[in-house]
């Protein structure tokens, strides 16, 4: 059993993006598990207490809304590995827009956001939550995704 789990599995990027896109667009998941508005970035915490796996949820907007804190500098556009963050699209071409279906939750945009650094982390807040429910929710979404393909 241990040998089977140690075998490196091939990465299926399209499947990963599709599952995360489905997960992030699920209103039940957002409402019941994350308890946040759409726009969540999921990133694993670097450390946790023994027996209590955790993840970090980085929220992409504060109570004033994204336009009040994003300075539209484009730093996130340059580092996004899936080109989910884009400039010059949408209703106001000066704003950075995010394609929710292309996001993979890597958190690189969070790390380079200068607005987040200058306003004390209010552009992208960090919230901790237990990860066991996260993995169960992901399995449930993945089963539903497999059933639809």
CA–CA gap between residue 12 and residue 29 (Å, rounded): 23
Q: Which two tokens stand for residue 141?
A: 């979404």
Helix (H) / strand (E) containing 16: helix 13-25
pTM for the full model?
Answer: 0.39
Tell how far CA 39 is from the center of its chain.
7
Give pLDDT tens digits for 56-104: 444 444 444 554 567 778 888 888 888 888 876 666 666 777 776 777 7
Residue 5 lies in a domain: no
Residue 78 lies in a domain: yes
Residue 4 lies in a domain: no
**Domain hosting residue 132, numbered range:** 11-148
Give pLDDT tens digits for 30-68: 555 554 444 444 443 344 455 555 444 444 444 445 545
Residue 131 lies in a domain: yes
Q: How many CB atoms lie within 10 A of CB 130?
A: 12
Number of separate domains in the chain: 1
Count Cβ atoms within 10 A of the Cβ of residue 32 and give its class: 0-12 exposed, 13-18 middle, 19 or more buried.
exposed
Residue 68 lies in a domain: yes
């Amino acid at each position: 059993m241990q040998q089977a789990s140690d075998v490196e599995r091939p990465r299926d990027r399209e499947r990963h993006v599709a599952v995360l896109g489905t997960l992030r667009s699920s209103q039940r998941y957002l409402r019941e598990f994350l308890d946040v508005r759409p726009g969540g970035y999921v990133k694993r915490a670097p450390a946790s207490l023994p027996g209590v796996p955790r993840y970090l949820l980085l929220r992409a907007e504060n109570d004033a809304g994204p336009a009040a804190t994003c300075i539209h500098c484009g730093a996130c556009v340059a580092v996004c590995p899936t080109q989910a963050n884009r400039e010059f699209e949408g209703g106001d071409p000066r704003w950075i827009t995010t394609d929710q279906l292309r996001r993979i939750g890597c958190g690189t945009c969070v790390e380079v956001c200068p607005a987040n650094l200058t306003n004390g982390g209010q552009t992208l807040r960090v919230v901790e939550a237990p990860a066991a429910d996260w993995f169960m929710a992901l399995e449930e979404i993945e089963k539903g995704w497999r059933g639809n393909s």
